[in-house]
A and B are shown apart, each in its own frame.
Chain A
Amino acid sequence: MKKYMFLALVLIMAFASVMAVSANETLKIGLCQPITGSMAMSGLYSTHGVQLAIDQINEAGGLQVGDKTYDLELLIEDNEGKPDITINAVSKLISDGVVAIVGTNSSSTSMAGGPIATSEKVVMVSTTGTNPDVTQVGGEYMFRSCWIDSYQGYLAAKLAYETLGKRRAAILYNNADDYSTGIMDFFVKSFEEMGGETFVQAYAGAEIKDFKAQITAFKDWEPDVIFIEAQAAELPLPTQQIRELGMDTQIVGAASWDNELLTQLTPKEDLEGIIYVTTFCADSDEPKAKEFVEAYKAKWDGELPMNQATMSYNAMRIIAQALQDCGKVDDPEAFRDAMAAVNMELPNGHFEYDENRDPQISGVLMTFRDGVGVYYGEIGN
């Protein structure tokens, strides 16, 4: 017993001495993402993105804020993808003294955590909480690094109507999921305004495995394009079943399709040719983007940065930039104003917030070739 105590003591001493080497003060950054549960993959990618940004900052000698230099320390709390757990996780991070929180990945959890962050004056940056209400409900300390559903839905509709020239769109969505429901609404609205016809079928929950009834209905209606958008884990099965039932209609989607999970779970031939609109394409030629992709691949064993990882990396970069701009770490109001005024270049282009704390991000089209998402084209406003 004594031996182990001694060993533990030695370890603690060694650890403490390592900590003491760096002269910089540490600044805590919180990450609140689903580390477990059905959305755990998003949490993993998000951790990768944020960790890369933090390591880059620390390796460059720390973050210069005012006349002090800080090392960043990442505190991760799991929200299990549930709103009620998010409240606990966000409260815990704030109690642990973080200056800002990165997260969460979904709109419902962001809307649960945002009001707390605002009431405690801690900046929170949702990575992929795309519902327009997120920053409205969350309050003035709630930001996001992604675009909003109304814009995403519009871009997807534009992709189907203008880029591909389709006129009859069938839509499959999850009526238990606010993200899927929201984007369906915006897609239908935009597509009909452009002059197309729509046909909507719902399924009830992430646990649904059989979509044959909805697909058969699609078959009778004879669409020339199918729009599916839900959480990434729910996309492989309907895609496979659409092809199984002999429909070779063009499928289009939005940012959820930009997830490695899909390429792992869906046969290559079923994915072939599906086009989706997302925020960032790893084979972009922009120098800033290339630099980011190289760094990311080197850090995480050749993994390609997708939407979630990029948005999380961006969120961390935006926070760091705003801290530098405001020049102090103990003035939440100045920090918030610096966040709102942030104006910088990120891997996916120029970044600025509008008056609703929503960024204007341009979209990029990607498609699957041989089971890998590749660049397809640009899509403008």
Chain B
Amino acid sequence: MMKIKNNDTNKTYLSYIVVPVLFFVLYYLIQTKTINMYWRNIILICGINGVVAMSLNLINGITGQSCLGQAGFMSVGAYVSAMLTKNVFKPYMTDTFQTYALFVAALIIGGLAAGLIGFLIGLPSLRLRGDYLAIITLGFGEMIRVMWRVVPAAGRAKGINSIPKVTNFVSVYIIVFLVMLIFRNFTKSSYGRSCIAVRENELAGETMGINTTAAKIRAFVFAAIVAGIGGGLYSHLMTFINPDTFNSAKSTDYVLYLYTGGVGSFSSALLGAIIFTIIPEILRFMGEWRLVVYPLVLILTMIYRPKGLFGKHEFGFMRFGEKENEYEKEENAGILMLISKAVKSLLNGKKEKTRKEAQ
């Protein structure tokens, strides 16, 4: 009995409660229109950007490769699923159940198509690393974009329009949560650990009998599938996509979300995507100046928080509820840690001051 109780105190269940509570609070606010259409759209885009940023974290953060073509994977998912729902599934989308069943099917097929492309890009990554790999992925991403521009079925430069608008808050929230769970379990599995081994020391990993080639390809394919699902959500939210939506600037955005949030952690990638999707919208009151202030925020973030705003912290449920020990907290050193430290030192300072005054 005692033992179980001990175990309980060593675990934190806060996030297990926060996830459903946050869902119902947001859902309620959206249903009652307290959150207007504008902010609802932004919340959805935050979630979608979060999904893609997390998929990028699998390549950049967990496997230690560098990928600059995430928008390319995303576009494959977006186009394939949009073409499916628009041209094939639309007549069958009669009731709510069928609509969402077919939507999920389209998302999965789009994700798998993106995974296929991810496999193709994963192949050269066997020989290349670092900057060279980044260039290859950048090139691949651009190639995919230019490909959509010449495929007549994809509408060429005009893109695809009148895509059924089926992405909603519930679907985005559930997919974000599922993606996080899947990534959590993947990272903790032997497959995920072999990816981490590749990141830490490829040679040592190979010596220990890990198939580093397979680990890298697995990471690329898996990340591409998830990015493709994100793309599918995106196209069914926007109802309109064209090739230039997925240009290299978009890929750069995801790298930005990941690194400002904190590379190596899925929670940080999600939070980074949320914060840096919202900031340009909050700055809208500045008009043209927001495009000056936004990069300034980024520069300051990178100077003062090179580990990213949230460091390597994960949400509680991403750690299976295990508490972080002091060492991990210090090592991960997110912005929350910094704030709590500052508050502590402020309080201590006051205490010392009062002590001195007392003396």
CB of B79 to closest CB in A, whole Å: 14
The interface residues of chain A lying within 8 Å CB-to-CB of B20 are: none
How many residues of A sit at the interface, in one of the four size bands? 20 to 34
Q: Mark B152-166, 1 if CB is under 8 A from A, else 0.
A: 000011110110010
Known contacts A94-B38, A115-B240, A175-B150; is-contact A35 B158 (Cβ 8 Å): no
CB < 8 Å: which of A35, A116, A178, A180 contacts B159?
A178
Q: Are B291 and A177 in contact (CB under 8 A)?
A: no
Helix, strand, loop or mixed for chain A's interface? Answer: helix
The interface residues of chain A lying within 8 Å CB-to-CB of B240 are: 83, 108, 111-112, 115, 137
In this assembly, does B329 line the interface, its C-beta being within 8 Å of a C-beta of chain A?
no
The interface residues of chain A lying within 8 Å CB-to-CB of B243 are: 176
In this assembly, does A131 line the interface, its C-beta being within 8 Å of a C-beta of chain B?
yes
Q: Mark A71-99, 1 if CB is under 8 A from B, else 0.
A: 00000111000111001100110110000
Q: Are B37 and A181 in contact (CB under 8 A)?
A: no
In this assembly, does A133 line the interface, its C-beta being within 8 Å of a C-beta of chain B?
yes
In this assembly, does A213 line the interface, its C-beta being within 8 Å of a C-beta of chain B?
no
Q: Are B238 and A84 in contact (CB under 8 A)?
A: yes
We find that the number of chain B residues with CB closer than 8 angstroms to chain A is 30
In this assembly, does A120 line the interface, its C-beta being within 8 Å of a C-beta of chain B?
yes
CB of B237 to closest CB in A, whole Å: 8
The interface residues of chain A lying within 8 Å CB-to-CB of B242 are: 83, 108, 178
In this assembly, does B8 line the interface, its C-beta being within 8 Å of a C-beta of chain A?
no
Number of contacts between A and B (CB, 8 Å)?
A: 84
Q: Are A204 and B146 in contact (CB under 8 A)?
A: yes
Q: Are B149 and A175 in contact (CB under 8 A)?
A: yes
The interface residues of chain A lying within 8 Å CB-to-CB of B165 are: 115, 119
CB of A56 to closest CB in B, whole Å: 24
The interface residues of chain A lying within 8 Å CB-to-CB of B161 are: 111, 133, 137
The interface residues of chain B lying within 8 Å CB-to-CB of A176 are: 149, 157, 243-244
CA distance A182 to B159 in the complex (A): 12
In this assembly, does B288 line the interface, its C-beta being within 8 Å of a C-beta of chain A?
yes
Residues of A within 8 A of B (CB): 35-36, 76-78, 82-84, 87-88, 91-92, 94-95, 107-108, 111-112, 115-116, 119-120, 131, 133, 137, 174-178, 180-182, 204
Question: Which 10 pairs, one residue from A and one from B, show the smallest C-beta to C-beta distance?
Answer: A91-B38, A178-B158, A95-B38, A95-B36, A181-B157, A137-B161, A178-B157, A112-B240, A92-B38, A111-B161
5 more A-B contacts (CB under 8 A) besides A83-B238, A84-B45?
A35-B288, A78-B288, A84-B238, A95-B36, A95-B38
9 A-B residue contacts at CB 8 Å? A36-B291, A83-B241, A91-B37, A92-B284, A95-B36, A108-B158, A119-B165, A133-B161, A175-B156
